[in-house]
Amino acid sequence: MRQPPKIVEFEITTACNLRCIHCYCMAGKKSSNELTTEEIKRVMDDLKEMGIWAFDIVGGEPFVKPDIFEVLSYGKEIGLQLMINTNGTLVDRRIIEKLKEANPTVMVGVSLEGATQELNDFVRGKGSFEKAIRGIKLFVEGGFDPVILHVINKMNWRHFEKMIDLAKKLGVKKIYVDRFIPVGRGVQSKKYLDMDDREWVAAIEHVRDVINKYKDEITFYIEENITGDPCTAGRSHASILVDGNVVPCGHFRYNKELYMGNIREKPFSEIWNSYDPEKSLPLPEVCSDCPFVKSCYGGCKAVSLHRYGSFEKQDIPLCYIRRKEKGFSLKSWGW
Ligand code: SF4
Ligand code: SF4
């Protein structure tokens, strides 16, 4: 038996009131194949039994899903730690009250792509900044401890420090930081949001510096595609898609060859225990004799596949940064 995953993400719906230009699952319409409430409860029982740390409900927008409060309440009933990622724009006092009743210990994340209307609404759509800020304030007032979910892209990385100021003003103490990867709708918008490798190096280094500066004031949850720690896909993380298919990371949503199985056919625990990440997500050859391989493992697998087209390529910006930090000569890179 393998170690259970730490976090399992679950795409509860693809329905969404927004049309963010980076959205990995191209959310908008409800999928015809969504798991039923009973199927969701069965997965939750299985995950509780496995001993995972948290079940992270994502979308689409979870608050448009009619049975969301039943699912949240079931998590409380069986003692499974839940997280919910929302765009925050539909949140009102009624939702806060229902949430408190259904699951007062759920960890809430609200997406924000910048500290200004301009930066945020470019990605998430007109009017979304104001509504998300109102939502965050309501969560704070309601006694939740929301996390701002922030994805670094070409437009916003230079303004990352302003996100910290905004979080502090809003009474938010936690920020999750991720990196833009061109998947789903992100493929069409990569000309605005993606960067070349050298700019990614600058962006990642800048974000790390800002995090370091504020680490005593804010709790940061940093995706390993920024920290440079080994990719967790299929190792301590998996995502269950809206139709029950399981992928090692949500970024492989459209790569059927990487599917681990479907929970409509087998319990998640069985799928997880028969999965071998070394086989499905192989190490690039260049990494095999690298002295840093154990602490790096080639970087983000989704970056390898979606930016360079193959797992044969390492995550070049992270590789460059690590080698630079370790004092390796970078002459051969020609940068
Ligand atoms: S530092 Fe570069 S070559 Fe070494 S393991 Fe990481 S990505 Fe691979
Ligand atoms: S593929 Fe990238 S985004 Fe997905 S778990 Fe690995 S490092 Fe994180």
C-alpha–C-alpha distance, residues 14 and 58, integer Å: 9
What does the mean pLDDT of the chain come to?
Answer: 97
* 30 bridge partner residues: none
Give distance in angstroms: CA of 321 to centre of ligand 2: 17
Instruction: Output the CA angle 325-327-329, nearest 5 degrees.
Output: 120
Ligand 1 lined by 314 (C-beta under 6 Å)? yes
Q: Which atom of ligand 2 is nearest to the CA of 303?
A: 2
Ligand 1 lined by 231 (C-beta under 6 Å)? no
Q: Which atom of ligand 2 is nearest to the CA of 224?
A: 7
**Mean pLDDT within 259-267:** 98
Query: In the prediction, which pLDDT does 65 show?
Result: 97
Q: Is the pLDDT of residue 330 over 90?
A: no
Give distance in angstroms: CA of 232 to centre of ligand 2: 6
Q: Which atom of ligand 1 is nearest to the CA of 320?
A: 2
- Are the CB atoms for 296 and 317 separated by under 8 Å? no
| Ligand whose nearest atom lies closest to the CA of 288 | 1
Confidence category of residue 331, pLDDT binned at 50, 70, 90: confident
Confidence category of residue 276, pLDDT binned at 50, 70, 90: very high
**Mean pLDDT within 80-93:** 98
Instruction: Output the CA angle 37-42-43, nearest 5 degrees.
Output: 100
Range 163-185 burial, b when 16+ CB lie within 10 A, else e: bbebbeebebebbbbbbbbbbbb
Tell me the C-alpha to C-alpha distance, in Å, between residue 116 and each of 95, 167, 177, 268, 288.
25, 12, 17, 40, 43
Q: Is the pLDDT of residue 333 over 90?
A: no
Q: Is the pLDDT of residue 334 over 90?
A: no
How many other C-beta atoms are found inside a 10 Å radius of the C-beta of residue 188?
13
Closest CA relative to residue 240, chosen from 96, 2, 34, 4: 34
Q: Which residue lies with its CA nearest to atom 4 of ligand 2?
A: 249
Query: In the prediction, which pLDDT does 315 show?
Result: 98
| Ligand whose nearest atom lies closest to the CA of 224 | 2
pLDDT digits (tens, 9 = 90+) for 88-142: 999 999 999 999 999 999 999 999 999 999 999 999 999 999 999 999 999 999 9
Give distance in angstroms: CA of 300 to centre of ligand 2: 5
Strands 261-262 and 245-247: antiparallel
Give distance in angstroms: CA of 178 to centre of ligand 2: 9
Query: In the prediction, which pLDDT does 125 show?
Result: 98
Query: In the prediction, which pLDDT does 335 show?
Result: 83
C-alpha–C-alpha distance, residues 174 and 219, integer Å: 5
Q: Is the pLDDT of residue 323 over 90?
A: yes
Ligand 2 pocket test target in 8, 25, 224 with most atoms within 8 Å of CB: 224
User: Residues of the chain with pLDDT > 90: what percent?
Assistant: 97
Q: Is the pLDDT of residue 207 over 90?
A: yes
How many other C-beta atoms are found inside a 10 Å radius of the C-beta of residue 2?
15
Residues 6+ apart with CB under 8 A from 34: 12, 13, 14, 242, 243
pLDDT digits (tens, 9 = 90+) for 290-319: 999 999 999 999 999 999 999 999 999 999
Q: Is the pLDDT of residue 68 over 90?
A: yes
DSSP string, 79-137: T--EEEEE-STT--HHHHHHHHHH-TTPEEEEE-S-SSHHHHHHHH-TTHHHHHHHHHH
